[in-house]
Amino acid sequence: MRTFDFSPLFRSTVGFDRLFDLMDSYAEQSNGYPPYNIERSDDTHYRITLAVAGFGEKDLNIEVKEGVLTVTGQKEPVEGDNRSYLYQGIAGRAFERRFQLADHVEVRAAKLENGLLHVDLERLIPEEKKPRRIAINGPELKSIEGKAA
């Protein structure tokens, strides 16, 4: 019997509890750069934090389209910069990271501080989709009796 580790699949989704049908889209994101965290502060609030050291606000782009959050980064070359690195450990290469969002999950804010990009998400469930309590011994149903014509 074969067993599969689906934990990498859960790291790239937000708002889903079980989602095995994203295996195909996960295969596209196997490079692992930039590293990121996904946090859940309560049942409806999430935060994605990406480590984007060396990137400024003008170098980053955040877009949501058809339920997919895409974060891209590309540094603009600086004119007259002729530095020669002996060792370059801070990666400045271009990247694209995609996150599949669940239904009713919306991006609320994005903030760049101390080399970390924070993207705040919120799940807004419409009123008709929320669970509701049904009274067991509620008001009695009255039957309407008609008279024969």
Domain map of the chain by residue range? Answer: 7-80+91-127
Residue type, 6: F
pTM value? 0.66
pLDDT confidence of residue 39 = 93
Report the percentage of the chain scoring pLDDT > 70. 70
User: Per-residue pLDDT tens for 91-115?
Assistant: 788 999 999 998 889 999 999 999 9
Taking domain 7-80+91-127, whether its CATH number is 2.60.40.790 is answered by: yes
For residues 28 and 96, give the distance between their C-alpha atoms in angstroms, rounded to a whole number.
11
- Per-residue H/E/C for 61-118: EEEEECCEEEEEECCCCCCCCCCCCCCCCCCCCCEEEEEEECCCEEEEEEEEECCEEE
pLDDT confidence of residue 13 = 63
For residues 94 and 84, give the distance between their C-alpha atoms in angstroms, rounded to a whole number.
20
Confirm if 50 and 116 have CB atoms less than 8 A apart: yes
pLDDT confidence of residue 149 = 59
